[in-house]
């Protein structure tokens, strides 16, 4: 999927997971090693259990929800998790409003614990997907390198939809990563590539940037599903929290076009929203076929 900033023809292939989907969620996990439980049905992805009470906020690893990344990724994905990862999530609030024709759900959650989950996208596939759009000698700009969720924060899931008779239809799911005024812990790495001897190669990348993501928005009813995106900042990777970072994000959002996403990824998000609306006890992800490797990183990963 591609995202364009019109003034600079910024093209971002964004493969997004929603690590912050854990509002109101207890993840199935092994209490001894804090890792996602293996799903018995190999034809599906992991199953997560859902809860809706802030009175007894059971905190569990949200690693299973990170499985959402490959479902929307157009490329192969490598998964890195920090050693002894302790990231957890627990419900802060759950609100549901239903009228005769519409419904609305707001589920807020808190992430706690140290560590990171990082998804790196196959550079050859990312680059190949866009070289056909270029004129000879033109530079590829804003290619996606990785997506990373690092540390703690607050998030919110909003589900909106319509009611017709006995049928409830989710029309929009909004995922906010900056609830309660906290800085979003979600970032994506971007880079440019100039052709060398007519070839575009990852090792020749330049202008590496970090974009901080505040929200992703999924909607129903489009022939080609797209994902809305709200950025908090775009800055040099060497100085990701520079003085002008927030301003750059605000300007970028004036020109952002919603990137295309896979049908299965978009439908999964809408189905997840319906599960929250109906207060289902569990939700099972469809199986992703493009996870290349999972590994634990024993040292600090500063990207």
- How confident is residue 173, by pLDDT bands cut at 50, 70 and 90? very high
> H-type helices in 2-158, by residue range?
68-72, 123-131
Report, as an integer, the average pLDDT of 243-249.
76
Quick one: average pLDDT of 128-133?
83
Residue numbers of the domain that contains 188: 3-285
CB environment 265-286: b (16+ within 10 A), e (fewer): bbbbbbebbbbbbeeeeebebe
Distance CA(69)–CA(206), nearest Å, equals 25
Residue 29 domain flag: yes
| 10-14, 88-92, 125-129, 147-151: the lowest-pLDDT one | 10-14
Residue 276 domain-assigned (yes or no): yes
pLDDT in tens, 53-105: 766 666 767 777 777 778 888 788 899 999 988 888 777 889 999 999 999 99
Tokens of 154: 């607050």
**Which of 64-78, 109-123, 288-302 reaches the highest mean pLDDT?**
109-123
Record the pTM: 0.79
Of the ranges 44-58, 79-93, 125-139, 189-203, which is most confident? Answer: 189-203
Per-residue pLDDT band for 240 (boundaries 50, 70, 90) equals: low
Strands 60-61 and 88-98: antiparallel
The answer on pLDDT for 20 being more than 50 is no
Q: What does DSSP assign to residue 183?
A: P
Residue 84 lies inside a defined structural domain of this protein: yes
Nearest to 234 by CA among 245, 223, 218, 220: 245
Average pLDDT over residues 252-276: 83
Q: Is the pLDDT of residue 180 over 80?
A: yes
Mean pLDDT of 224-236: 86
Classify residue 303: in a domain, yes or no: no
**What distance in Å separates the CA atoms of residue 19 and residue 117, rounded to the nearest whole number?**
8
**Mean predicted lDDT score pLDDT of the chain:** 80
Nearest Cα residue to 90 out of 139, 175, 27? 27
More confident: 112 or 124: 124
Q: What is the mean pLDDT of residues 135-163?
A: 92
- Structural domain includes residue 114: yes
pLDDT at position 104 is 98
Q: Write down the residue that tokens 């997560």 correspond to.
A: 48
Q: Where are the beta strands (DSSP E) in the chain?
A: 3-5, 10-12, 25-27, 29-30, 35-36, 44-50, 60-61, 77-82, 88-98, 102-112, 116-121, 140-150, 153-164, 167-176, 186-193, 205-219, 227-236, 282-286, 291-297
Is position 177 within any domain?
Answer: yes
In this structure, is residue 292 part of a structural domain? no
Instruction: Place 281 in a pLDDT band, splitting at 50, 70 and 90.
Output: confident
Cβ proximity of 54 and 76 under 8 Å = no
Total structural domains within the chain: 1
Helix (H, G, I), strand (E, B) or coil at 272: helix
Residue 148 lies in a domain: yes
């Amino acid at each position: 999927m591609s995202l364009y900033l019109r003034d600079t023809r910024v093209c971002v292939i964004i493969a997004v997971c929603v690590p912050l989907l854990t509002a109101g969620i207890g993840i199935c996990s092994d209490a001894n090693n804090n890792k996602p439980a293996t799903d018995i049905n190999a034809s599906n992805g992991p199953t997560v259990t859902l809860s809706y009470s802030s009175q007894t906020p059971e905190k569990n690893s949200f690693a299973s929800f990170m499985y959402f990344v490959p479902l929307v990724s157009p490329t192969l994905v490598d998964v890195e998790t920090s050693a002894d990862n302790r990231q957890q999530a627990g419900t802060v609030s759950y609100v549901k409003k239903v009228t005769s024709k519409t419904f609305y759900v707001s589920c807020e959650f808190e992430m706690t614990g140290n560590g990171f989950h990082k998804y790196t996208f196959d550079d050859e596939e990312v680059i190949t997907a866009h070289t056909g759009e270029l004129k000879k000698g033109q530079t590829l700009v804003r290619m996606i390198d990785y997506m990373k969720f690092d540390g703690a924060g607050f998030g919110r899931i909003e589900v909106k939809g319509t009611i017709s008779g006995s049928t409830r239809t989710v029309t929009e799911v909004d995922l906010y990563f900056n609830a309660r005024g906290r800085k979003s812990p979600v970032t994506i790495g971007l880079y440019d590539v100039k052709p060398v001897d007519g070839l575009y190669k990852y090792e020749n990348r330049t202008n590496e940037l970090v974009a901080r993501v505040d929200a992703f928005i999924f909607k129903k009813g489009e022939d080609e599903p797209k994902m809305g995106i709200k950025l908090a900042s775009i800055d040099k990777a060497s100085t990701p929290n520079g003085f002008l970072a927030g301003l750059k994000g605000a300007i970028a959002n004036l020109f952002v076009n919603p990137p295309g996403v896979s049908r299965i990824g978009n439908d999964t998000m809408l189905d997840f929203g319906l599960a929250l609306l109906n207060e289902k006890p569990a939700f099972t992800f469809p199986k992703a076929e493009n996870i290349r490797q999972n590994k634990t990183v024993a040292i600090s990963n500063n990207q």
